A = this chain, B = another copy of it.
């Protein structure tokens, strides 16, 4: 059984390794907002536990075991988010912080119950896939809106940032998962885009926003 702290390191490692397998101590340190020497010593303990492979002055890499353990934490997090939205009437911007805590509850039964009550959902309220109980994840091929071209028609499938601030930004514009979008214009200088949200308004989004909107082309 892993400590709360260890589970948070695992989650960060998995999240950072999704773009290329290797993770530098520095990246991890920034993500966790924990200073490098602390992260470094934790990585040595992780290597002992065979959660990662570690060599001095090299980036670390999750082992198969480490990936699975990390996926289980992500599973608990996303199941919780879904449960909070579906069964407890929370809004999608309210659930991340609470799920950060509940994901560490030590009770397999508790999460099995959630999973069953929700009908074994594949995605959380932010469109992220929920790993199954073996740690396997449904592969999705969404791309950020920022990678789309003028005239592309797409559907908003997920957001890559579940923070309250970002979700409130979308709420204020009544933008929801499933909304259909069309790129009207793209500003090369700053990466901002003009986007028509079908049935709603036409918006201008900064690149920061466009990077977080994960879409699928029609």
- Residues of A in contact with B (beta carbons under 8 Å apart): 87-90, 94, 97-98, 101-102, 105-107, 109-110, 113-114, 117
Given A94-B109, A109-B94: A117 and B88 interface contact (C-beta under 8 Å): yes
Nearest chain B CB to A90 CB, angstrom units: 7
A107 B98 Cβ-Cβ under 8 A: yes
In the complex, the chain B residue whose C-beta lies closest to that of A97 is B107
In the complex, the chain B residue whose C-beta lies closest to that of A90 is B113
Most buried by B among A94, A109, A110: A110
- CA separation between A89 and B117, bound complex, in Å? 9
- CA separation between A105 and B90, bound complex, in Å? 16
Q: A105's contact among B98, B106, B107, B110, by CB below 8 Å, is which?
A: B98
Nearest chain B CB to A88 CB, angstrom units: 5
From DSSP, what is the main secondary structure of chain A's interface residues? helix
Nearest chain B CB to A100 CB, angstrom units: 10
Residues of B within 8 A of A88 (CB): 113-114, 117
Residues of B within 8 A of A114 (CB): 88
In the complex, the chain B residue whose C-beta lies closest to that of A114 is B88
- CA separation between A97 and B110, bound complex, in Å? 11
Q: A107's contact among B89, B101, B106, B107, by CB below 8 Å, is which?
A: B101
- CA separation between A88 and B102, bound complex, in Å? 15
Nearest chain B CB to A173 CB, angstrom units: 24
Residues of B within 8 A of A101 (CB): 105-107
Nearest chain B CB to A86 CB, angstrom units: 12
B117 A98 Cβ-Cβ under 8 A: no
- CA separation between A94 and B108, bound complex, in Å? 12
Nearest chain B CB to A84 CB, angstrom units: 8
List 6 A-B residue pairs with CB atoms under 8 Å apart, sorted by A's residue number.
Answer: A89-B117, A97-B107, A98-B105, A98-B109, A98-B110, A101-B105
- CA separation between A91 and B109, bound complex, in Å? 12
- CA separation between A11 and B15, bound complex, in Å? 37
Residues of B within 8 A of A97 (CB): 107
In the complex, the chain B residue whose C-beta lies closest to that of A117 is B88
